[in-house]
Amino acid sequence: MTDPSARPAGPDTPAHPDTAARLEIARTRAATMFRALPEEIHDLGRRFEDAGFELALVGGPVRDAVLGRSSADLDFTTSARPDDTEAILRTWTRDGAIWDMGRQFGTLGGVRDGVKVEITTYRTETYDPTSRKPQVAFGDTLIGDLSRRDFTVNAMAVRIPSLDLVDPFDGLADLAAGVLRTPVAPEQSFDDDPLRMMRAVRFVSQLGFALHPATAAAVEALADRITIVSAERVREELVRLICGQHPRRGLELMVDLGLAAHMLPELPAMQLELDEHHRHKDVYQHSLTVLDQAIDLESEPGSGGPCESPDLVLRLAALLHDIGKPATRRFEEGGTVTFRFHETVGAKMAARRLKALTFDKDTTKKVARLVELHLRFHGYADAPWTDSAVRRYVTDAGDLLERLHRLTRADVTTRNRRKARHLARAYDELEQRIADLAEQEEIGKIRPDLDGNRIMELLGIGPGREVGEAYKHLLELRMEHGPLGPERAEQELRAWWEARGAADRL
């Protein structure tokens, strides 16, 4: 367990010795970004100002501007009530292109010349302890609205059109220091909305930040509150975390602070005690290392290559590939530790957990299949396969073959360099054989030499179980011998049919 007090501190004890310089850079960068806002935004601000209302850019777009990142989302908050906001938006959009995104919560949207905005009336919130859904009431001040937000780095605003930065909770300093703090007491913030605890570890993954000690301690104390959050919302945050730039950091915090025990308990369960002779690896740390290595093997974003980053299916499979080891660990005579069939058990466990987290069926099926197949290659490393075995490997992987390639390579974490080189050479050879067979046989689209219609025609039968059995027999022959050609395939089919009939007569 990591001591929260050992984590990087907040702006009063900066995480970086050059925080002051970073803060000045952040201020300069933010001012430049805000001045570069589209003219449509400045015009919108003037319209609110002329009508006697305040308007401010708020939250993520402000944070991203300070970090030097552009943001597609333009979220605003205002002192105007929804009816007044709608009236101003109708004059701003010119053609009335506005939409109601939740008038009861004070949110409306509009677009003008491709510039989309979402505007929400200042709000205050109170929470029922049994639910994370707030009772929303409209507020009167920008500071009050900012105080209800999750973290100080998201509790900054820029008044429009004056471009004055409003930062009542020192979010700019926290951004420069790389620290996550809550605007109010973290115990209050997380007790009000437990999902913020998942957002905290997610921001660690996405931004590479550290949690302020008080923030970390509050997560640890209130971790069980995450159970009142819907599985769908937890899944959304988990996906963002795993697809972040530093997923390992976020996952380790989830485990260290107790969150994972309530929503992904299989992860901390992999922290097996090592046997006294250290004959097996730390499964938990091994899995995190495999995740890191799988990410390194992803194609560059936007490249169009296989497993383009971030590849959620590959990352989930890497994280969960050894999920079945705790359930299958056995201590044999002589101190040997085994995990027989952990890939099969793990595939079922992964499917159950992803289903519980409401992942879609396609993602769940793909991750479970990769977990099931992740050990298949190791037989090849011991003794080269026949062409038939290579064909089966490709066919079993199907459209997951590229991900299986990367998962298999990432699963090599041995410190024995000789062994690592041997495994790498063996997999290089396997991939080359797959490529050679693919060129000869279209290995990725293996089908029997005869289709179902031809099988029925030759055997004089109609649709039914026997057609499926004949198809399966021809597929096995295709796997074993490669393309047979129509003439030989027909001979083999008739021979199989006759033998089947003879067996039935016995």
Q: List per-residue pLDDT tens for the chain, 506 residues long.
A: 333 333 333 333 344 446 677 778 777 877 777 888 889 999 999 999 999 999 999 988 999 888 878 777 899 999 999 999 999 999 999 777 899 988 888 999 999 998 999 999 999 866 666 665 666 789 999 999 999 999 999 999 999 999 999 999 999 999 988 999 999 999 999 998 999 999 999 999 998 899 999 999 999 999 999 999 999 999 999 999 999 999 999 999 999 999 999 999 999 999 975 544 444 468 999 999 999 999 999 999 988 888 999 999 999 999 999 999 999 988 888 778 888 899 999 999 999 999 999 999 999 999 999 999 999 887 776 777 788 888 888 888 989 999 999 999 999 988 888 888 888 888 888 888 888 877 665 555 567 778 888 888 888 888 888 888 888 888 877 777 777 788 888 888 888 888 877 555 44
- Provide the sign of the torsion angle of the four alpha carbons 409, 415, 421, 422, taken in this order: negative
| Among the four given CATH numbers 1.10.8.60, 3.30.460.10, 1.10.10.10, 2.40.30.10, the one describing domain 17-177 | 3.30.460.10
Q: Where are the domains of the chain?
A: 17-177, 178-264, 282-445, 452-505
List beta partners, residue 357: none
Q: Are strands 75-78 and 98-102 parallel, antiparallel or unpaired?
A: unpaired
Smallest CA-to-CA distance from 406 within 324, 322, 303, 315 is with 315
Instruction: Tell how far CA 213 is from the center of its chain.
Output: 26
From CA 201, how far away is CA 205, in angstroms rounded?
6
From CA 323, how far away is CA 284, in angstroms rounded?
9
From CA 261, how far away is CA 267, in angstroms rounded?
8
From CA 266, how far away is CA 78, in angstroms rounded?
44
Q: Which two tokens stand for residue 27?
A: 């201020």
At 130 the pLDDT is 63
DSSP state of 228: G
- List, in sequence order, every beta strand (DSSP E) within 172-232: 179-180, 210-211
At 125 the pLDDT is 67
**Treating both helix axes as pointing N-terminal to C-terminal, what angle do 401-410 and 417-441 enclose, rounded to 10 degrees?**
170
Find the angle CA(288)-CA(4)-CA(188) to the nearest 5 degrees.
110
Smallest CA-to-CA distance from 147 within 77, 214, 233 is with 77
Task: Say how many CA atoms lie within 13 Å of 206 toward its Cβ.
Answer: 17
- Fold entry, domain 178-264: Hydrophobic Seed Protein (1.10.110)
How far is CA 207 from each of CA 69, 91, 452, rounded to the nearest angstrom?
12, 38, 54
Question: 168 preceded by cis ω (within 30°)?
Answer: no
For 400, residues 6+ apart whose C-beta sits below 8 A from its C-beta are 313, 366, 369, 370, 373
Smallest CA-to-CA distance from 150 within 105, 199, 106, 107 is with 199
Helix (H, G, I), strand (E, B) or coil at 308: strand
- Fold entry, domain 282-445: Hypothetical protein af1432 (1.10.3210)
From CA 21, how far away is CA 11, in angstroms rounded?
13
- Evaluate whether 178-264 and 282-445 have a shared fold: no
How many CB atoms sit inside 10 A of residue 219's CB?
28
From CA 35, how far away is CA 143, in angstroms rounded?
23
**Treating both helix axes as pointing N-terminal to C-terminal, what angle do 213-222 and 195-207 enclose, rounded to 10 degrees?**
140
Q: Which two tokens stand for residue 450?
A: 């005869």
For 304, residues 6+ apart whose C-beta sits below 8 A from its C-beta are none
Burial of residue 335 (number of CB atoms within 10 Å: 0-12, 13-18, 19+): exposed
Find the angle CA(75)-CA(77)-CA(78) to the nearest 5 degrees.
145
Q: With beta carbons less than 8 A apart as the criterion, state whether 450 and 486 touch.
A: yes
From CA 145, how far away is CA 264, in angstroms rounded?
33
The length of the chain is 506
Question: 17 preceded by cis ω (within 30°)?
Answer: no
Q: With beta carbons less than 8 A apart as the criterion, state whether 15 and 177 touch.
A: yes
**SS percent in the chain: helix, strand, coil, step 5:** 60, 10, 30
Q: With beta carbons less than 8 A apart as the criterion, state whether 259 and 314 touch.
A: no
**Treating both helix axes as pointing N-terminal to C-terminal, what angle do 312-320 and 283-296 enclose, rounded to 10 degrees?**
160
For 1, residues 6+ apart whose C-beta sits below 8 A from its C-beta are 256
Q: Which two tokens stand for residue 243?
A: 């697809």
From CA 296, how far away is CA 315, in angstroms rounded?
11
At 29 the pLDDT is 77
